[in-house]
Copies of this chain bind each other. A is one copy, B any other.
Amino acid sequence: MSPLGSQQLSPPSCRGLGRALELCQAAAQMNKNSSDIMALAPNTPNRRGTVCIFGTGDFGRALGQKMIQSGYSVVYGSRSTQVSNLIPKDAEVLGHTEAAQKAAIIIIAIQRQHYNFLTPLAEVLRGKVLVDISNNLKLNQYPESNAEHLAQLLPGSKVVKAFNTVSAWALQSGTLDASRQVFVCGDDVEAKEMVMNIVRALGLNPLDKGSLLAAQEIENYPLQLFPMWKFPIFLSLGLAAFFFFYCLALDVIYTYIYENNNFSFFIAITIPNRICPVMALILLALVYLPGIFAAIIQLYRGTKYRRFPDWLDKWMLCRKQLGLIALAFASLHVVFTLVTPMRAFVSWRASKGIITQALKNKTEPLDHTNAWISDSYLALGILGYFLFVLLGITSLPSVSNNVNWREFRFVQSKLGFLALTLCTAHTLVYGGKWFLSPSAYKWYLPNIYILSLIVPCVVLAVKFVLIFPCVDKPLTQIRQGWERNPKYSKQSNYIINKSAV
């Protein structure tokens, strides 16, 4: 039984979240396995230096343990100097003042609400590097970040924010799949460099985020829940709900009222399988629409040196998310379609058709047009979906990191437009024959696949115009820095043109 109990190792993010985490437990357990292996360095005289840790909580102990392994001397500052069996055995435990005097760097592993107890120690901590590793329970819980609060309390010390996004798991385990990125910020460059050296010595990757003003962002990071996904998801849910009720009205209620057929079971598969392709097509078109807008704006303004409107900026930033949600809908459409032959309703309808023919004592000949249409919309859909999946794979972080800018652009732009074209053609061929048929317009409303075609067709039509040389050439020039009308960025223009950049 190792002296360091493994249950005590929840990361600060867990603690900060204030939530019970069975996953954390697993993380903590990692330590048990590795503590048998990752031996503490013997007490060689040439240690890296001494680090003081205020607080003997879960994360303080895990960090100390890891530092000792990496060759640091660790001294804990605690109100009680009674040596606990939870504290790493090679660490010293002293009173706060004595501990702080021993080291140039003090890691503040205590919660924000107890920072006040540090003020009497201001004199001892003067000139020292204080590392704030704390997290909060909510986004923007306090007006200023914990690190800035600490810096205000102890103006004589150099406060650096670090380690708050690291879990005890990443610290303790030798696994490569936990994120090793440590965000660091602080006003004192030397202090920051000292902390970043510790981060590197622990096998983690420090990332300098600038001055202490960035602490708020760093503290919010582990509390965020997919911030980039919020708008795309709400948009998709809203659109999907609209289309659901639209289909419900036309396919179930209309049929019930006018044809006296109860098709309520359409809610399970038929209607979802109508909504999914429509959503996939519209969202995929929405991925490429802002690029079209941007090109038109740049052509109209004749310069790239002006900011786009805010809504366009935001839209452009969530294109990856929109595309992935579109891929999710497309995948659901594929599976919903493939289970068709297994549905009781479909096999009932098929056998009814066959029996009707059999009772008439005749077989209908093969309708070649129908065979062509059926096969070609399936083939178009399959190829479009195939390219769509390729786009999805390319947007996996590890794949996109191995691809250069030109390759990424080729896949996301060229193949993306090809996928959009194929999917639009798939929908057109599928529904083409009903466009002019009056029976397709129940209650004078168009079928939803007609609605779904509007955005993609507009995007493809405008894109088609934009690749004409007479439009493409000036656009390329503008994007290389040329300006039709230099009045827009007069001041900067002089420097840009003269210094030949």
> Are B216 and A207 interface neighbours, CB within 8 A?
no
Residue A461 is within 8 A (CB to CB) of chain B in the complex: no
B-contact 0/1 string along A382-418, CB 8 Å cutoff: 1001100110000011111110111111101100000
> Are B56 and A495 interface neighbours, CB within 8 A?
yes
Closest beta carbon of chain B to A224's beta carbon, Å? 6
A265's contact among B345, B351, B372, by CB below 8 Å, is which? B372
Interface residues in A1-32 (C-beta closer than 8 Å to B): 1, 5-8, 10-11, 13-15, 17-26, 29-30, 32
CA distance A332 to B475 in the complex (A): 37
Residue A206 is within 8 A (CB to CB) of chain B in the complex: yes
Closest beta carbon of chain B to A370's beta carbon, Å? 5
Closest beta carbon of chain B to A311's beta carbon, Å? 12
Q: Is the interface of A mostly helix, strand, loop or mixed?
A: helix
- Chain B residues, Cβ within 8 Å of A211: 39-42, 69
CA distance A479 to B11 in the complex (A): 12
B-contact 0/1 string along A287-303, CB 8 Å cutoff: 00011001100100000
> Are A208 and B201 interface neighbours, CB within 8 A?
yes
Residue A44 is within 8 A (CB to CB) of chain B in the complex: yes
Copies of this protein in the complex: 3
Closest beta carbon of chain B to A252's beta carbon, Å? 13
- Chain B residues, Cβ within 8 Å of A38: 209-210, 214, 217
**Residue of B with least CB distance to A272:** B379
Residue A230 is within 8 A (CB to CB) of chain B in the complex: no
**Residue of B with least CB distance to A392:** B393
- Assuming A176-B181, A335-B382, A371-B265, is B84 touching A492 (CB within 8 A)? yes
10 examples of A-B residue contacts, CB within 8 angstroms = A11-B405, A29-B313, A30-B317, A46-B188, A48-B193, A69-B208, A84-B491, A202-B208, A268-B378, A351-B363
Known: A110-B500, A269-B375. 11 other contacts (CB 8 A): A15-B481, A29-B308, A41-B189, A71-B192, A78-B499, A79-B498, A86-B492, A268-B378, A343-B374, A344-B371, A345-B366
